[in-house]
């Protein structure tokens, strides 16, 4: 960390919150439940025996289990490979299960910040940036504000104790003063002394 810069907060997304709000695990479960009911209704309307009806509907259990394990595993992996940091000068988003990347957002490039909290005490903190460099939505997903494709907003997603984190970020932004703003960029870490590669949208 550069001299004079202090780490104010560091954390990871909540895996269960990611599973619910990013990978929509509840909607997938509801979809399979609907299929189960429909299959039972169709077989009963065809006057099939009750035992055969339940056995046929139970075949949905395998794809259901596969979907739950896959989505839950992805949520856990994204949570484990992501780290959000707030310093006295910037916000850092480190992410990437296969290709580790770092998004550096200096306070001088933050036009505004917001927070949206949920009942489980987690929340999302989107950042509106003024950088002239265009950020790539797909490259940053899921650490971006949904449906903001033309004006991409990096976001600290599914953060535990989001209200407290928002207070830390708000206080840091209020106190920050930067004479020469640094550009927000998305970098893939490379061995020194090579320069970082800046990834932008095509």
> What are the structure tokens assigned to 102, written together?
């770092």
Q: What is the mean pLDDT of the chain?
A: 84
**Greater confidence, 197 or 100?**
100
pLDDT beyond 70 at 109: yes
- Tens of pLDDT, residues 168-182: 999 999 987 544 455
Give the 3-state secondary structure of residue 37.
helix
pLDDT category at 185 given cuts 50, 70, 90 is: low
Structure confidence at residue 153 (pLDDT): 93
Cα–Cα dist 200/202, whole Å: 6
User: Peptide bond before 193: cis, by omega within 30 degrees of 0?
Assistant: yes
Query: pLDDT > 90: what percent of the chain?
Result: 58
Residue of 119, 118, 121 lying closest to 164 (CA atoms): 121
Of the listed ranges 72-76, 85-89, 99-103, the least confidently predicted one is: 99-103
Neighbours of 45 (CB within 10 A): 8
Structure confidence at residue 127 (pLDDT): 95
First to last CA, the chain: 31
Residue of 129, 131, 149, 130 lying closest to 139 (CA atoms): 149
Identify the residue whose tokens are 């959000």: 84
Neighbours of 53 (CB within 10 A): 18
Phi, psi of 188 (to 5 degrees): -100, 120
Structure confidence at residue 143 (pLDDT): 94
What does the DSSP 8-state code read for residue 202? -
């Amino acid at each position: 960390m550069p001299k004079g810069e202090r780490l104010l907060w560091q954390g990871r997304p909540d895996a269960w919150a990611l599973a619910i709000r990013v990978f929509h695990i509840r909607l997938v479960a509801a979809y399979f439940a609907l299929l189960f009911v429909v299959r039972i209704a169709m077989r009963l309307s065809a006057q099939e025996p009750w035992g055969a009806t339940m056995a046929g509907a139970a075949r949905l259990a395998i794809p259901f289990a596969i979907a739950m394990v896959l989505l839950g595993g992805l949520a856990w992996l994204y949570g484990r490979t992501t780290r959000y940091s707030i310093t006295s000068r910037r916000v850092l988003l480190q992410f990437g299960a296969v290709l580790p990347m770092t998004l550096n957002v200096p306070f001088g490039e933050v036009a505004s910040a917001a927070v949206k909290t949920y009942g489980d005490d987690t929340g999302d903190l989107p950042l509106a940036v003024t950088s002239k460099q265009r950020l790539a939505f797909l490259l940053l997903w899921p650490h971006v504000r949904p449906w903001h494709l033309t004006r991409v907003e990096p976001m600290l997603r599914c953060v535990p104790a989001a209200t407290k984190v928002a207070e830390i970020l708000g206080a840091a932004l209020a106190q920050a003063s930067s004479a020469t703003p640094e550009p927000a960029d998305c970098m893939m870490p490379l061995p020194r002394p090579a320069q970082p590669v800046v990834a932008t949208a095509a």
